[in-house]
Chains A and B, each alone.
Chain A
Amino acid sequence: MNVEDIKKDFPLLENREITYLDNGATAQKPIQVIKAIEEFYEKSNANPHRGAYELSIEATEEYESTRAKIAKFINARHPEEIIFSKNATESLNLIAYSYGMDNLKKDDEVVISIMEHHSNLVPWQKITKATGSKLKYMYINKDFELSDEEIKNKITDKTKIVGITQVSNVLGTINPVKKIIQYAHEKGAIVIVDASQSIPHMKIDVQDLDADFLVFSGHKMLAPLGIGVLYGKKEILDKMTPFLMGGDMIEYVYEQETTFAPLPNKFEAGTQNVEGVIGLGAAIDYIENIGYNKIHDLESEVVSYARQELSKLDYLTLYLTPNVQNHCSVISFNIKGVHPHDVASILDSEKVCLRAGNHCAQPLLRSLGIDSTCRVSFCFYNTKEDVDNLVKALNKTYRMFKKYINK
C-alpha cells in the first residue's frame, strides 16, 4: 500500500486542494470511518442498554464490542477498563475529580511535565488547591527533553500522582513514559499518561507501560470528533467514585440514596456518543489494517525530510530535539521577527494549513521565552510534496517580511 492509495481513502484530501499539516489538532477521516457511522444510523441506531428489543440489543452489541476492540488495541486486561468520554480533556477531568480529589491530602505532591497540554495541567491546579497538595513541574533541557535527573529530582516519596504526555503536542518530543512509570511506582505514585499525540503514530501497550491511567481523543486518530477514551486499571477504577451522575450509571435510586453500577457503566452517565464509538472502532480497524510498522515507516520518511528541509532555512528558529529517535510527528518553529499568526495567514493563502498560537501549552511556551509558535504535525497520508509546499510557502512569507524585519 503506497501513500497515494491511502490518500484516496480520505475524501476531504481528495475534495480540497490543500496541504494539511494540522494533524495534531485533528486528523482527516477515511471513508471507512464515515461509512461506518452512516451504516450505524441506517441499520442499527437505537439507544444501547435501554431497550429489550432486537435493535437496541444490536446497538448495545456494537457499542460493547467496540469497547472490547479498544481494550485489545491498547492491550488492556479487561474491556471494562475502557471508559468512553467525549475527549482526552474529559477523561483527564474525570481522573482529577474522581481520583485526585479523593486521594490527595495536604502536602502530597502532583508532578507533571512542563510540556503538558492545559487539559492535563489546569485540572491539577484546581485539585491541588482544593486538597492542599502541591503541583510541581518537570522541566525540559536544551534538547527539549526531560532528563533522567529532572525526573528523579521531582518525583519523590511525597509524589502521589504523576501526569505525563507521551508525545508533546508542541515539540513532538517523545517522553520516556515507561521509565517514568517505573520510577513513580517505586515511589508509590500512580501515573496518568496522555496518549493523545502518540496513539495516532505508535503502538500503545498499557500493560507493558504499566500505566495506571491512559487517555486519548478519537479525533486525532481518524475517528470522529467528540469521542474519547479513558483507560484505567480495574482495581483503581473500582475504588473510584463516579464523576458524572445520571442515567445508566446507577443500580438502585432511592429518594435520598443511590447505589452505582459496576464498571464501565459507573463512569458513563447518560446516553453516550454511540456514533463516535462506532467511528472509533472503524478508525482502529483502519489503523490496524495499515499497521503501525507501516505507519511508522511512512511518517518517519516524511518527518525526517521535514526536519532536514526546515533545518536548511536559516531564518527559522526550530524548537526541535536533535535526537530523531525521541521525536514524533510535530515540529514547532518561528520565522525570526515574524509573528506566527502572520505566517499562518500567508501560508493559508498558499493553501498550507498549520497551527499558530500557544497550542494550549502556555506554561511551556513561557518557559521557552515565547508566546506562540507555528506548528506542523504530520499523519501517514502526508508526503514529501507537502513538505515542499510548506517550504515554498515559508520562503514566500519570509520574502514578504524580509525588508521590514527589525535588524
Chain B
Amino acid sequence: MENLNDVYNELIMEHSMNSYNKKKLDKCDLCKMGKNPNCGDEIEIELKLDGNKIQDIGFTGHGCAISQASTSIMIDTLKGKTIEEAREIIKTFIEMIKREITDEEELKKLEDAIAFRNISNMPARVKCALLAWHTIEDMLKEQNNNTQK
C-alpha cells in the first residue's frame, strides 16, 4: 500500500498513543458507548454542554490507532462548536470517508480531521475511523429526540 504514511502520519500517531482528550469528565450531559465487536474496539464518549454549545468532550476505552486517533481529533474539532455546527461537521466527515465530498473548501471545516481523508484506501479500516463519529452522531440524534419530546 503506497499511502500507508498518509494514514499513519505524525498527527494520527500522536493522537492515538498520547491523547489529552482521553479522560473522564467530572460531570457530563451526554454519554454513549461505541462498539465494534469485530475488533473489540470500545470507546465511551462523554459530552458536556453549555447551553447549545459543546463545552467539553472526553473519551475512554480502547482500540486501534485509527479509532483512538479519530476519536481524539474529532474531539478537538467539535469542542466549542454548537450542536448544529457539530452535526454539519460530522456529516461532512462521514461523507469525506465515503468519498462523496472531495471539495477542499468544504473539507476545511473538518480542521485536523481531514487527516483521515485517505483512509478509504484501506477499506478494512474505514469502520475504525468512523466509530467515534457514528457514536457522537447517534448521541446528538438522541439528544434531539429527547428535547423534542
Contact = CB atoms under 8 A, between A and B. Distances in A.
Q: Which 7 pairs show the lowest CB-CB distances between chains A and B? A: A371-B40, A339-B64, A404-B17, A349-B1, A341-B64, A349-B4, A342-B65
Interface in B66-81: 66
A405 to B, nearest CB: 6
Nearest to A400: B8
A406 interface: yes
A372 interface: yes
Given A339-B63, A404-B13, A357 B124 contact: no
A227 B13 CA distance: 43
Nearest to B40: A371
Given A345-B125, A358-B40, A405-B17, 14 more contacts: A337-B17, A339-B65, A340-B64, A341-B66, A342-B65, A344-B124, A345-B122, A346-B8, A357-B39, A365-B40, A371-B40, A401-B13, A401-B65, A404-B18
A363 to B, nearest CB: 13
A404 B14 contact: yes
B65 A338 contact: yes
A348 interface: yes
Given A345-B122, A349-B4, A357-B38, A406 B65 contact: no
Contacts of A405: 17
18 contacts: A339-B63, A339-B65, A340-B64, A341-B39, A341-B128, A342-B65, A349-B1, A356-B39, A357-B40, A358-B39, A358-B40, A365-B40, A371-B62, A372-B40, A400-B8, A401-B13, A401-B17, A404-B18
A344 B1 CA distance: 12
A368 to B, nearest CB: 12
Interface of A: 337-342, 344-346, 348-349, 356-358, 365, 371-372, 400-401, 404-406
Nearest to A403: B13
A404 B16 contact: yes
Interface of B: 1, 4, 7-8, 13-14, 16-18, 38-40, 62-66, 122, 124-125, 128
A340 B63 CA distance: 9
Nearest to A356: B39
Given A345-B124, A406-B18, A372 B65 contact: no
A404 B15 CA distance: 9
Contacts of B8: 342, 346, 400
A400 to B, nearest CB: 6
Contacts of A348: 1, 124
Contacts of A404: 13-14, 16-18
Contacts of B124: 341, 344-345, 348
Contacts of A341: 39, 64, 66, 124-125, 128
Contacts of B122: 345
Contacts of A338: 65
A350 to B, nearest CB: 9
A342 B17 contact: no
A264 to B, nearest CB: 36
Contacts of A337: 17
A157 to B, nearest CB: 37
A365 B122 CA distance: 26
Nearest to A344: B124
A346 B40 contact: no
Contacts of A371: 39-40, 62
A342 B124 CA distance: 11
B63 A406 contact: no
Nearest to A365: B40
B128 to A, nearest CB: 7
A221 to B, nearest CB: 26
A346 B17 contact: no
Given A341-B128, A349-B1, A372 B39 contact: yes
A356 B36 CA distance: 14
Nearest to A341: B64
A43 B38 CA distance: 43
A346 B4 contact: yes
Nearest to B17: A404
Nearest to B7: A345
A372 to B, nearest CB: 5
A356 B39 CA distance: 8
A365 B63 CA distance: 15
B90 to A, nearest CB: 23
Contacts of B18: 404, 406
Contacts of B4: 345-346, 349
B148 to A, nearest CB: 37
Given A339-B65, A345-B125, A406 B1 contact: no
Contacts of A358: 38-40
Nearest to A371: B40
